[in-house]
Structure 1
Amino acid sequence: MLVSNIFLCQLSEAFAQSDPLPSWNESPTKKSIIDFVTRVTTEGSPDVVPVPERIAAFDNDGTLWCEKPVYFQVAFAFDRIKAMAPQHPEWKTTQPFKAILHKDMQALAASGENGLLQIMAVTHAGMTTDEFSDAVRDWIANARHPRFNRPYTDLIYKPMLELLTYLRANGFKTFVVSGGGVEFMRPWMERVYGIPPEQVVGSSGVVKFNAGLNGKPKLVKQPKIEFVDDGPGKPVGINRFIGRRPIFAFGNSDGDLQMLQWTAGGTGARFMGIVHHTDAEREYEYDRLSKIGKLDKALDAAAAAGWTVVDMKTDWKTVFSSP
């Protein structure tokens, strides 16, 4: 028994001394994360936070995985259009579907928000939630990123996966709070991030209950938006679906600004982080002028308030979770 206890003590000490964020370079950024977690989880610390209140909220696109050249849910919708085209010959001459089939990005851009809404409606509605989940899983398993020629789930940020694991090991409950569709994210996030479906908050469309002809109940997706979980919608979504204000939040764009402000506005110790895409070689470099993942007002807010900004190029030893 004595030998066993000594071994357990040595194991515990070794674990405590091990690096919880090995893919992060030693820098003030990494130190700020570890210092915060230590302060809010150490008994006797003036900043200690009870376990039930250790809520961490993460944006998804551009924060936990890549978001270029287009949001991956949009890439999914485009691929759905191509797969469905044989059943819709009228799309050959009808915009915005014609633009997708002919890879005419100029015409697609000209269709604007209305065109995108049409695309999302025909690719995300008219099927049951189970059918949609199956379509998402199939796409995740088979689709490839146009630049990296790898599955999209290979483009998860390894440093952020380590951060999720580190937080959970210290009593945090981790949530995804994203502008992406909640039913697009839930089928794969538990396997990839370790975040279960009930801890995924996102934009949603109207879903209607249907008893079914055979008496088997089903939920059918409707072509109508119910809730947009982006910008000012994120704190609303957090309040509605989580019910606790986060003490730790990470984003990467102006769409995350209000979530970070909401987190900062609480009492006690708070951590607000932003992933700044500065690595054109290993991933992408963009911020203020980007149409996707624009980081402008949030970057200024971070500088003014002293939030932690991750410089992808200098703070991360590696970017993606898979080589």
Structure 2
Amino acid sequence: MWVEHPIYSQLIYCFDRVPALVKARPELAKVEPFKTVLTGDFEKIGKLPLRAIEEIAVATLTGMDVEMFQAEVKAWIAGARDHRWKRPYTDLIYLPMQEVLTLFRANGYKTFIVTGGGQDFVRVYSERVYGIPPEQVVGSAVGTKYGYDKNGKPFLTKEPKLLLNDNNAGKPEGIHLEIGRRPRAAFGNSTGDRQMLEYTQAGDGARLSMLVLHDDGKREYAYGPAQGLPDSKVGTFPQALYDEAKKDGWFVISMKDDWRRIFAFE
């Protein structure tokens, strides 16, 4: 749906939130992994283990009420710029996928985003950017706690408790939990989408499963490691997934060969 390389946009949001977090809790400035993030050195940050990344995500994505979180994400989306294109992240959305969404909706289908990213994060911009309302976004979700402010107004606080890891097998599980219908068509780009595409194809009648292969290093990025492309920890597309797609009749979309334009601003 949008550029994920060399690091997921939501993680960049988390890293950008660390200085404000440290300002509120100064003791974190000398504690890893926050100390490394404060350097702003992406080479060092990229070497942090998964456990450290998860610690940063929990610290920056929970502990505030949901409306405060939505306001902070909205402000970040408006001001943040990608390091390569110097454009808002919401400009780096794939034009062909936008056209697919428009085509499906014009023919009476509902369109959903099913993502391994944070559900609350994506819901902030999904309707404006993709025409998909918040209630049609399924993503990784944390718990919320009901409470009252000093004036007695009810609010919800985001808690550091994972309710749904919407990746791998979690995607079809999340689809059933939040949508209740098996998809007629599904699109993915990595191993995290494999079970969702399998689940889609297993339904009765006509079904469509497609994978986007990032093989255009000039206009976007080239990574796999399928088809001899460079390996990647982000959005990994191994040869085994490519082979499964070919065996099961899924369509593999080549960015390089099949997309005349990748972004609307080209």
Q: Look up the SS of the partner of 2:67 in the other structure.
A: helix
- Alpha-carbon distance in 2 for matches of 1:87, 1:222: 18
Shift of 1:227: 1.0
Match of 2:206 among 254, 266, 269: 269
Which structure ranks higher in relative contact order (CA pairs < 8 Å, sequence separation ≥ 6)? 1
Alignment of 1:170 with 2:107, yes or no, is: yes
Aligned-partner Cα distance in 1 for 2:255–2:167: 23
Find the counterpart in structure 1 of residue 182 from structure 2: 245
Shift of residue 215, structure 1, vs aligned partner:
1.4
Question: Does 2:133 correspond to 1:190?
Answer: no
1:155 aligns with 2:92: yes
Moved over 4 A (4+): 104-107
TM-score when normalising by structure 2: 0.94
Q: Which amino acid aligns with 1:268?
A: G
User: CA–CA distance in 1 between the matches of 2:221 and 2:36?
Assistant: 26
CA-atom RMSD in angstroms: 1.3
Find the counterpart in structure 1 of residue 228 from structure 2: none
Q: Deviations over 1:252-306 (max 9, x none)?
A: 0000000000001011111000010011000000112210000113222101112
Report the CA distance between 1:110 and its aligned residue. Answer: 5.1
Q: Which residue of 2 aligns with 1:8?
A: none
Residue 84 of structure 1, CA deviation: 3.1
Q: Give, in whole Å, the separation in 1 of the partners of 2:191 and 2:255.
A: 17
The equivalent of 1:305 in structure 2 is: 248
Q: CA deviation at 1:90?
A: 2.3
1:291 is aligned to 233
Distance 1:217 1:87 in 2: 24
Secondary structure of the residue aligned to 1:223 is strand
Cα shift readout 1:160-195 (whole Å, capped 9, x = no counterpart) = 101100010001100000000000000110000000
Distance 2:9 2:132 in 1: 19
Structure 2 counterpart of 1:115, which letter? A
- Over the matched positions of the two proteins, sequence identity in percent amounts to 47
Alpha-carbon separation, structure 2, partners of 1:236 and 1:280: 34
Distance (Å, rounded) in 2 between the aligned partners of 1:188 and 1:321? 17
Deviation of 1:212 after TM superposition, in Å, equals: 2.5
Which residue number corresponds to residue 75 of structure 1? 12
Contact 1:99–1:105 at 8 Å: present in 2 too? no
AA aligned to 2:248 is A
Conserved in 2, the CA contact under 8 Å of 1:71 and 1:292?
A: yes
Are the counterparts in 2 of residues 208 and 220 from structure 1 also a CA contact under 8 Å? yes
Specify the alignment match of 1:40 in structure 2: none
- Structure 1 stretch displaced more, 149-158 or 212-221: 212-221
Deviation at residue 126 of structure 1 after TM alignment: 1.2
Q: Does 1:96 align with 2:33?
A: yes
Q: CA offsets per residue over residues 196-226 of structure 1, 9 Å max, x none? A: 0010000001111112221111000112211
Does structure 2 retain, via aligned residues, the 8 Å contact 1:277–1:311? yes
Distance 2:261 2:19 in 1: 34
Q: Which amino acid aligns with 2:84?
A: R
Q: Which amino acid aligns with 1:187?
A: V
Structure 2 residues not aligned, in runs of 5+: 226-230
- Report the AA paired with residue 204 of structure 1: A
Instruction: Give the counterpart of 2:21 among 58, 63, 84.
Output: 84
Shift of residue 108 of structure 1?
3.8
C-alpha deviation, 1:106, in angstroms: 5.7
Which structure 1 residue ranges, 5 or more long, are not aligned?
Answer: 1-63
The code of the aligned residue for 1:295 comes to F
CA shift, 1:109, in A, is 4.8
**Matched residues in 2 for 1:85 and 1:158: separation?**
38
Q: Please give the secondary structure, in 2, of the residue aligned with 1:131.
A: helix
- Give the equivalent residue in structure 2 for 1:127: 64
